[in-house]
A and B are shown apart, each in its own frame.
Chain A
Amino acid sequence: MEIKLPPNTKPDSYWAAKETLDNEAEIEEWAIHDLNNFNNYPLEKHKAYLRTLPFHKDFICHTLGPDTKGVEAYISYIEMFFGAFSNLHVGVQNLIVKGDMLAIHYILSGKNTGKFMGKPPTNKEFTMKMMEFHKFAGGKFTEGWVVGDTAAFASQLGLLK
């Protein structure tokens, strides 16, 4: 069941000015801020916002596609996804922060309105059950894992033969 996230209490500029997330409470507050932004920002605003996140320069993300190495590769991956889909919404089921780790359990939904994996948009909607796991060191993101029911996702878009 989707939980209702509390509204953001600080502006983007507050988080953009922070180079590190220094404790559990801060990581959790930032994560909620980030999820609210994901659900509410148009692509262009999101692109600018992504560049303010506290990534370690060697951040690695094990995405649903290939692994991304470095901040720009990750941002390109996210931008590709935002370019292919609209009405994206993260329905958070739960999140947990302890020490230098963060996990989020959620359902991603959206509509395929742009070119995706070389194929024209299908204008089909999807929901995908997902989970993410992130690690921090020195207050910055160092590594992330993103998994989800990609077979159901591809099937809903008609991409499975």
Chain B
Amino acid sequence: MEKAKKKMTPKECVVLFNKLWNEGNIEDFDKTNAPNMVYHHGDRNMTTKEFADFSKEFAKGFPGNQYHIEDIIEDKERNICAVRYKWVGKHTGSFFGVPATNKEMSLIILEWDVFDEEGRFVESWARYDTLDWMKQMGLM
């Protein structure tokens, strides 16, 4: 498992992870994530491996989906940052049992991240309007 070679700032880590996600480079998530990394999505907590599996499924439903970083607030002393993203994707494949709608979708996603001393993610919380998401998916 390749580790980060030098300490990153929170912002550098967020930007690198964003590049990995947008390029579908799931195998390299360990470059940005500490071994004990936990993703908090709604009531779900995921390890890096679980999150990578989730992102593979995600990419089947939304091939080429992209997170655009709109703003990053970083506090290097506390090793934390908040990120505002605009997520966009087109639902062209089956997504966790929901058949393709071929609709373009977008969401505002706010994220709270905590980093270790090497500048790697140790915890990340993602928040978005989940009802809006369900409406866009045609689930209600």
Contact with A along B113-140 (1 / 0, CB 8 A): 0000000000001011111111000001
Q: Mark out the residues of chain A between 48 and 85 whose CB falls within 8 Å of any chain B CB in the assembled complex.
A: 62, 64
Interface centre among A62, A99, A130, A147 (most CB of B within 10 A): A147
Given contacts A130-B127, A160-B140, contact A145 B43 (CB under 8 A): no
A133 to chain B, nearest CB (A): 5
Interface centre among A93, A98, A135 (most CB of B within 10 A): A98
| Interface pair B140/A105, CB less than 8 Å apart | no
Q: How far apart sit A105 and B112, CA to CA, in the bound complex (Å)?
A: 7
Stretch at the interface among A11-19, A33-41, A148-156: A148-156
Q: How far apart sit A135 and B73, CA to CA, in the bound complex (Å)?
A: 11
- In the bound complex, residues from chain B placing their C-beta under 8 Å from that of A130 are 127
| Interface pair A145/B84, CB less than 8 Å apart | yes
Q: Mark out the residues of chain A between 125 and 161 whose CB falls within 8 Å of any chain B CB in the assembled complex.
A: 129-133, 135, 145, 147-154, 160-161
- In the bound complex, residues from chain A placing their C-beta under 8 Å from that of B130 are 148-152
Stretch at the interface among B18-26, B51-59, B74-82: B74-82
| Interface pair A96/B84, CB less than 8 Å apart | no
- In the bound complex, residues from chain A placing their C-beta under 8 Å from that of B4 are none
| Interface pair B127/A131, CB less than 8 Å apart | yes
* Interface residue A32 (Cβ < 8 Å from any Cβ of B): no
Q: How far apart sit A7 and B42, CA to CA, in the bound complex (Å)?
A: 30
Interface size on B, residues (CB 8 A): 26
Interface size on A, residues (CB 8 A): 29
Q: Mark out the residues of chain B between 60 and 95 whose CB falls within 8 Å of any chain A CB in the assembled complex.
A: 71, 73-75, 78, 80-82, 84
- In the bound complex, residues from chain B placing their C-beta under 8 Å from that of A154 are 131
* Interface residue A31 (Cβ < 8 Å from any Cβ of B): no
A95 to chain B, nearest CB (A): 9
| Interface pair A147/B127, CB less than 8 Å apart | yes
| Interface pair A93/B73, CB less than 8 Å apart | no
B11 to chain A, nearest CB (A): 10
| Interface pair B42/A147, CB less than 8 Å apart | no
Listed in ascending order, the chain B residues whose CB lies under 8 Å from chain A are 42-43, 71, 73-75, 78, 80-82, 84, 108-112, 125, 127-134, 140
Listed in ascending order, the chain A residues whose CB lies under 8 Å from chain B are 62, 64, 93-94, 96-99, 101-103, 105, 129-133, 135, 145, 147-154, 160-161
